[in-house]
Amino acid sequence: MKKKIAALVIAGAMFAFSGCGSTASESAPAESTVSEVTDGESAAAESSGTAESAPAESTEAGDESAEASNSVGDIILDDAPVSDMDFTAEKVDDFITLASYNGFSPYAPEGTEVKMGDTVNIDYTGYADLDGDGEVEPFDGGSTQGLGTNLEIGSQSYVDDFEEQLIGSKKGDQVEVNVTFPENYGNTDLAGKDARFDVTVNEIVVETADSYFSEVCNASEVKAYPKNIWDEIVAYFDHYAETNSMTTEELFEQVGVSQDDYIRSRAKILLTAHAILAKEGCDTGSEEYNSMQNDFLSYYGFQDIEDAQNQGMTDLELDYTVTYNLALSNLEEMAIK
């Protein structure tokens, strides 16, 4: 459940106006503060998502023939009209032709060596001489606790040359990594000290559910954008701009993306996610959907939907977050291990 909740946080950031196509990276031993490990993330984190025609033939996810004149982030935009029809989960096929998908291979083949630029999933425990008595011991926040965390080699998100020392290793390797914490490290117990990390390379990650979702989304074709979804997204950003003392036009000028394009990208993500859930039999009102929704509400401290609404959560935000993450969860289950 912890990893599911972590995904919920990411989806919430996707719908908030935090950027276009940005992804959340997992924290790691970096050069600022040390906190406790949660959800498999490192504890030495740096503080520093007219329609009346019948569904067309489905295309294959990853098909390079899927083209569009422009894109927002990773999402290719479709030049489809805004319909005068409203969206319901039962009508999703009226608005989008979902690309076929058969799962994806998230990890590199056995025997592949880690190289610069790769993303690896690792576990580790750090040891240091905290008392100056010559005896090393595990330190707070220096372990993934077996939950695993992803690290991009070369991202410089870990202290010293931690990342470079993993180059050449393979899945299953145990690697001893030796580093020196910087003198200005946030945790004074570790500042300037040498440390050893016993690292296990779990996998070399070549594709994630997020990136595979983008492939499915881009290979799918929007036939029309539902009027109610379009209007709700417009209202969402109008309100966002107003609360930040600017016009909607000023808001989108700051980001450098047209309002129309950004709305098309968010609407396409939502339609794709709903289409995946419809295909998997777990769309709005299903046991799986309600469970994901309850997880989200509980994580953010809401008692129920009414409580979330009273605190400013819109129905669109809730549905976007739950639908997107439940779609990711379904894709993750199809990953070819």
Q: Give the C-alpha separation, 147 to 27, whole Å.
A: 13
- pLDDT classification of 175: cutoffs 50, 70, 90: very high
DSSP 257-315: S-HHHHHHHHHHHHHHHHHHHHHHT--TTSHHHHHHHHHHHHHTT-SSHHHHHHTT--H
Look at residue 230 and tell me whether its pLDDT is greater than 80. yes
Q: Give the C-alpha separation, 47 to 32, whole Å.
A: 6
Look at residue 220 and tell me whether its pLDDT is greater than 70. yes
Burial status of residue 230 (CB atoms within 10 A of its CB: 0-12, 13-18, 19 or more): buried
Residue 52, φ and ψ in degrees, nearest 5: -115, -5
Of the two residues 173 and 25, the one the predictor is more confident about is: 173
Give me the pLDDT at residue 16, please.
Answer: 47
Percentage of residues in the chain having pLDDT higher than 90: 66
- pLDDT classification of 281: cutoffs 50, 70, 90: very high
Both structure tokens of 42 = 């490192």
Closest CA to 300 of 321, 274, 285, 283: 321
Chain-centroid distance of CA 293 in Å reads 17
DSSP 190-223: TTT-EEEEEEEEEEEE---HHHHHHHHHHHSEES
Q: Are 182 and 31 in contact (CB under 8 A)?
A: yes
Give me the pLDDT at residue 337, please.
Answer: 66
Percentage of residues in the chain having pLDDT higher than 70: 79
Top-tier CATH class for 119-205: alpha beta
Closest CA to 288 of 253, 334, 323: 323
Q: Give the C-alpha separation, 296 to 49, whole Å.
A: 16
Q: Give the C-alpha separation, 42 to 29, whole Å.
A: 6
* Neighbouring-strand partners of residue 197: 126, 177
Give me the pLDDT at residue 275, please.
Answer: 97
Of the two residues 33 and 189, the one the predictor is more confident about is: 189
Q: Give the C-alpha separation, 20 to 258, whole Å.
A: 11
* Neighbouring-strand partners of residue 204: 120
Residue 292, C-beta contacts closer than 8 angstroms, at least 6 positions apart:
4, 8, 322, 325, 326, 329
- pLDDT classification of 166: cutoffs 50, 70, 90: very high
> Where do you find CATH 3.10.50.40 in the chain?
119-205
Region 56-85: mean pLDDT is 68
Residue 257, φ and ψ in degrees, nearest 5: -130, 140
Most confident of 12-26, 49-63, 66-80, 156-170: 156-170
Chain-centroid distance of CA 295 in Å reads 17
- Lowest-confidence pick of 38-42, 47-51, 98-102, 286-290: 47-51
Q: Give the C-alpha separation, 291 to 7, whole Å.
A: 14
